């Protein structure tokens, strides 16, 4: 199982869940800094960081992100954070 976290504010919660479950987490460049990414990886969290932001990304960007994750984690379920906004 792999988590794709779109909203930077949700990263800590998703990180804790991923660590508890032993699964991978992918975030945008706006989700964690490069320094945080290095620190989390060194602590054993299976984290990957895109070089572009995901917050407010359009469907094309999110589709590309899912495809990239699928290439790195074939046959694994990808859980994608979805934030519904009205209007």
31-77 confidence digits (pLDDT tens): 999 999 999 999 889 999 999 999 999 999 999 999 999 999 999 99
Domain range annotation of the chain:
2-80
Overall average pLDDT of the 20-37 stretch: 95
Cβ count within 10 A of residue 86: 3
| 82 has pLDDT over 90 | no
Q: For residue 25, with 0-12 CB atoms within 10 Å meaning exposed, 13-18 middle and 19 or more buried, which class applies?
A: buried
CA 64, 9, 18: angle at the middle one, nearest 5?
70
CATH architecture of 2-80: 3-Layer(aba) Sandwich (3.40)
R_g of the chain computed on alpha carbons: 12
- Alpha-carbon span 72 to 20, nearest angstrom: 21
């Amino acid at each position: 199982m792999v988590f794709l976290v779109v909203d930077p504010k949700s990263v800590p919660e998703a990180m804790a869940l991923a660590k508890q479950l032993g699964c991978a987490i992918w975030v945008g460049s706006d989700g964690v800094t490069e320094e945080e990414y290095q620190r989390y990886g060194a602590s054993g969290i299976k984290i990957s960081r895109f070089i572009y932001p995901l917050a407010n990304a359009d469907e094309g960007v999110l589709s590309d992100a899912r495809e990239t994750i699928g290439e790195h984690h074939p046959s694994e379920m990808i859980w994608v954070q979805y934030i519904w906004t009205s209007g």
